[in-house]
Amino acid sequence: MTAKTDLTGTVALVTGATGGIGRATVGALTEAGAQVIASDIGVNAQVDGAAMYAPLDVTSEAAWADVIGRIEREFGRLDILVNNAGISVTNSVAATSLSEFRKCFAINVEGVFLGTRAAQPLLARGGEGREGGSSIINLSSVGGLRGAAMMSTYCASKGAVKLFSKSAALEFAALKLPIRVNSVHPGGIETDMMDTIFARYVDEGLFPDMDAARAAVSAGHAVGRMGRPAEIAEGIAFLASPAASFMTGSELVIDGGMTAR
């Protein structure tokens, strides 16, 4: 760790903290010195390294107000917001219900909007006098950069996250608020969510079994393998730090060369 990536004295909120990337992000930010509030839909979840766990339904305005109020009371500041909570929808357009589509957008897109709006005043205060200001990191995906069969709903939601991030970054800069906003675009990562996607591919007959699906997705990365949650978490920690002080409105693509093809 260098002085530029040291997060000592900062306070971070991570949503979707019980999933693969979420847990790894809590660990990476904690290791860098941040006090991390881990949040997810579960009431009494345990996340190693977290300074506090806070149940949070990211689709609820009231829940966001509660968690931000709790952070202000207990820590007095917020420097980093990682909007990581998300779900996947692996289905054909014809078979996707409107309720399924709306649920995906409620979590993946509205959750990012509600979190950004709720945390903005506290982040603006926390960013004063800090090199690079405060940082919002929104989890998009390679699916927010290009389409994929059976993933139209998911890709649409992640594309929305990308452009919301860029617009918020420009808005905060125009208003001279000390908050940077960037999006992260992972490739295929070894998580439970990815296994669920593989299972749907098999169910739809795109691959004969899970091993074949995994092999095909791994081969789609130039490095010949899927990524690990910790590799995404390290990129998130970088964006949260003063080392990324010149980055806002950017897309940090961590995809093993998938989109370089």
Taking phi first (over 0 means left), then psi (-120 to 50 degrees means alpha), and beta for anything else, what does residue 238 get?
alpha
Taking phi first (over 0 means left), then psi (-120 to 50 degrees means alpha), and beta for anything else, what does residue 256 get?
left
Nearby residues of 146 by Cβ (< 8 Å), 6 or more positions away = 155, 259
Handedness of CA 119, 121, 124, 128 (dihedral sign): negative
Q: Rounded distance, CA 245 to CA 237, Å?
A: 12
Catalytic residue among 154, 164, 198, 238: 154
Tracing tokens 């219900």 back to the chain, one arrives at: 97
Nearby residues of 122 by Cβ (< 8 Å), 6 or more positions away = 68, 71, 72, 77, 78
DSSP state of 189: B
| CA-based radius of gyration for the chain | 18
Tokens encoding 181: 């906003």
Q: E strands of 131-261, at which residues?
A: 134-139, 179-186, 251-254
Q: How many residues does the chain have?
A: 261
The answer to whether 154 is a known catalytic residue is yes
Tracing tokens 């010949």 back to the chain, one arrives at: 224
Give catalytic residue positions.
154
